[in-house]
Structure 1
Amino acid sequence: MSAPTTTEAQVPPLAGFTVGVTAARRAEELGTMLERRGACVQHGPALRIVPLADDAELEARTRDLIARPPDVTVATTGIGFRGWIEAADGWGMGEDLLAALSRGELLARGPKARGQIRASGLTEVWSPPSESSAEVLDHLLEEGVAGRRIAVQLHGEPLPDVVEALEMAGAEVVEVPVYRWVPPADLAPMDRLTDLVLGGGVDMLTFTSAPAAASLLARATERGLREELVAALRGPVLVVCVGPVTAAPLEAVDVPTLQPQRSRLGAMVRALEAEAPARARRLPVAGHRLELRGHAALVDGELKAVPPTGMALLRALARRPGRVVSRAELLRALPGGGDDEHAVETAMARLRSALGVPKLIQTVVKRGYRLALDPSAGPSPLGGHCVSGDER
């Protein structure tokens, strides 16, 4: 294979791939980042956020902490801590809450939480370099928590392991649900995204919160599709999570995930961008370089939009490059199936047209079709008389 051409180098790294976005918050930002890298983005929010000012549980916990200030407050997210203070301001308790928190120690799980603590006029005493809730827990247990009142700001879902460990060590833990995730009011977009995943229309699926992953699985269970969805996420679909907390509900059902080293949106997109080349299939065919991506192909580095039926045929041929694939087998590979082999001929003609180089695919008389794999790349077909790809 020769080095990439200038044209090839200019093809965006995610071009030809379809990426599903389950996020609600920052969904537009994530979608824009993916589209700039060439991806086709499918949105299906798997949750929505309950407005802080409408959350009676948060107001009750805030009043309790003002009345009995905590010895330690753990801020897990910047947006959550800021939202808590803003909600308290709306209830006329902002200054009282800040005064109560200032009487104890503040720990920040990461730099964004640390920044919001300082923006509120407070100062944290410690923050872990790993940005990990587990390291925050280890730090607290090492210091000793027996008899101490600890407020833990949640980041969208409970932290049962952290809370249980602190309580077993003798602490009184006050969970602060600064924002809560609930299923989306309109389930249709999430259902459509799930259906696309099951139908092979999504190459990569992204998650930015554990509740989104849990919500998608729960909805699939309601629809009787859980086993099929989990199977798809274990196999052809690459699952990308912003960090280990987000990945937990998926890894609990043995779904492998790709995660960046740092739990950041940009880092997640860069990790996906780096992984994408491994998802492509590259073959030397008829003196050209053919690369198969999710819903498109590259021929000598030039992106070719291929219709779904064409991609189905191309993938079937690429599973056994150079070998003859019968019309009957190709017919079974077509979306929707059917029993008319003429549909294969029609789809094949469109595929050749889309690729722009008809000789990439050869017709084998009375037998089927094959990719014209270069002789040095692998085995040639067994038997059958080939005619040029642009002959019928």
Structure 2
Amino acid sequence: MNSAQQLAGFRIAVTSDRRSNELIEALERRGAETAHTPLLRLAPLEDEQFLLGQTRRVIAERPSVLVVTTAYGLRRWFDTAEAAGLGDQLGRALEDCRIFTRGAKALGAVRALGLPVAGSAAAGTSQALLQLLHGEVQGAAVAVQMHADNDRPLARDIRALGAAHVLKIEPYRWMENSGDPHILTLLEGICAGRFDAVTFTSAPSVHTLLAAAASRGMLPTLIRSFNERVLAATVGPVTAEPLIQAGVRSPLVPQRHRMGAMVLQLVTALADQGTLSVDTSRGLCQLRGRTLSLNDEDCTLTPLHAEILRCLLQAGGNVVSRDELATSLSTLPSRHALDMTLSRLRKSLPDPQLITTVIKRGYRIA
């Protein structure tokens, strides 16, 4: 299959704000249908007095250790300092710092500024970073570039390692977005299996989705959907960590913590987990997301029709009762609605006889 069709038939939700256009283009270039719902929005750099106050403290106190957690956060910090005329002073204050980074991207950002690196946690997680800092911060003044609110335990844990003083640097200011009605639409879509995958590029966005689900009583259904039918694709282990803690068993985590690597991993995973191929009496049937191919004749199904057909294909020719189908399809209000939906599904297929009715029992693939 050529690259333009690798994700044809699949519907993917994009939850990022920053660089979302780049990600959407990469997915749609491969044939995916995308839905964009930013879970968080970064505040603009204007009026960064709080960050500038933290920067002046670093310049005044000249910490002996600097901990860098994200490449973008470090660049945003230095850009803000430069715009305020503090760039040179900040650079001098950090000249003698022993700098430790969380992950390869943060390491590259420090080196791009021409600063030496004392150590880097290759695994890219907070736990790996703390292991790296063990024995390195005893009695030291430590500046920590924070990622977001969920990074706050990191400063506490560094103090527990023996740091004399911790200065927090917070380049990110997230604008509250939980009131966006589109977030409820996203939640309902994930819970109902209307998406084949959801992409996450930051841990704060994961926390926002989980909190929105919990506040609406939808968290158990959300986790079950991620574990059973919707792939959670993350850009790295830091982003995946809150999903794992919430009970999502196998979020996708690329070996290289890059957006491009996430897309390539998603292509492979959907080709493997999101594609069903079954030999039927009507010919070879393949379902990729919402695209059905029967004897090389393609048709695009609605999300509900695709979900019903997937249930029947997964049964491998065994009868699926109306009650079993109704249980797995939470959007159907009644058994009568199920019968009507099955009737419309048959009419949309290249061969209506692909689905057989077993009187008083249910339905099966021919």
- Give TM class, smaller chain: 0.7 to 0.9
Change (3 A) 1:169 1:115: closer
User: How many angstroms apart in 1 are the aligned matches of 2:72 and 2:324?
Assistant: 53
Counterpart residue number, 1:379? none
Aligned: 1:355 with 2:355: no
Name whichever of 121-130 and 219-228 sits farther off: 121-130
Q: Among the aligned pairs, what percent are the same residue?
A: 37
User: How many angstroms apart in 2 are the aligned matches of 1:118 and 1:280?
Assistant: 43
Structure exhibiting the larger radius of gyration computed from Cα positions:
1
Change (3 A) 1:121 1:328: closer
After TM superposition, list the pairs within 5 Å mapping 1:1-392 onto structure 2.
Answer: 12-142=5-135, 144-171=136-163, 172-184=165-177, 187-256=180-249, 257-276=251-270, 277-286=272-281, 288-301=283-296, 303-324=298-319, 335-338=331-334, 340=336, 344=339, 347-348=341-342, 350-362=344-356, 369-372=363-366
Change (3 A) 1:245 1:115: closer
Report SS of the residue matched to 2:134. helix
Change (3 A) 1:117 1:36: same
How far residue 40 of structure 1 moved from its aligned partner, in angstroms, is 1.5
Q: Deviations over 1:184-236 (max 9, x none)?
A: 27612222111211222112122111110111111223333333323323332
How far residue 150 of structure 1 moved from its aligned partner, in angstroms, is 1.2
Q: Deviations over 1:77-134 (max 9, x none)?
A: 2221111111112222121111111132233334433443344343334434444444
User: How many angstroms apart in 1 are the aligned matches of 2:129 and 2:16?
Assistant: 26
Change (3 A) 1:95 1:329: closer
User: How many angstroms apart in 2 are the aligned matches of 1:52 and 1:59?
Assistant: 11
How far residue 160 of structure 1 moved from its aligned partner, in angstroms, is 4.3
User: How many angstroms apart in 2 are the aligned matches of 1:317 and 1:89?
Assistant: 60
CA contact (8 A) 1:14 1:37 kept: yes
Counterpart residue number, 1:382? none
User: How many angstroms apart in 1 are the aligned matches of 2:361 and 2:153?
Assistant: 61
User: Normalising by the residue count of structure 1, what TM-score does the alignment of the two structures yield?
Assistant: 0.81
Report SS of the residue matched to 1:106. strand
User: How many angstroms apart in 2 are the aligned matches of 1:10 and 1:80?
Assistant: 33
Residue type of the alignment partner of 2:40: L
User: How many angstroms apart in 1 are the aligned matches of 2:104 and 2:3?
Assistant: 35
- Structure 1 gaps of 5+ residues are 1-7, 373-392
How far residue 241 of structure 1 moved from its aligned partner, in angstroms, is 1.7
User: How many corresponding residue pairs?
Assistant: 362
Residue type of the alignment partner of 1:285: T
CA contact (8 A) 2:120 2:132 kept: no
How far residue 319 of structure 1 moved from its aligned partner, in angstroms, is 4.4
Report SS of the residue matched to 1:178. coil
Name whichever of 227-236 and 278-287 sits farther off: 227-236
Residue type of the alignment partner of 2:167: V
CA contact (8 A) 2:203 2:241 kept: yes
User: How many angstroms apart in 2 are the aligned matches of 1:61 and 1:354?
Assistant: 61
Change (3 A) 1:293 1:127: same
How far residue 328 of structure 1 moved from its aligned partner, in angstroms, is 8.2
Q: Deviations over 1:308-356 (max 9, x none)?
A: 4533442343243434557787788695344647x73x65564345332
How far residue 66 of structure 1 moved from its aligned partner, in angstroms, is 0.8
CA contact (8 A) 1:52 1:58 kept: no
Change (3 A) 1:54 1:206: same
Q: Deviations over 1:283-316 (max 9, x none)?
A: 1012521122332322245542013453344234
How far residue 238 of structure 1 moved from its aligned partner, in angstroms, is 1.8
CA contact (8 A) 1:44 1:192 kept: no
Change (3 A) 1:161 1:302: farther
User: How many angstroms apart in 2 are the aligned matches of 1:319 and 1:131?
Assistant: 37
- Structure 2 gaps of 5+ residues are none
Change (3 A) 1:177 1:368: closer
Change (3 A) 1:321 1:337: farther
User: How many angstroms apart in 1 are the aligned matches of 2:255 and 2:220?
Assistant: 30
Change (3 A) 1:358 1:295: same
User: How many angstroms apart in 2 are the aligned matches of 1:72 and 1:35?
Assistant: 43
Report SS of the residue matched to 1:74. strand
How far residue 26 of structure 1 moved from its aligned partner, in angstroms, is 1.6
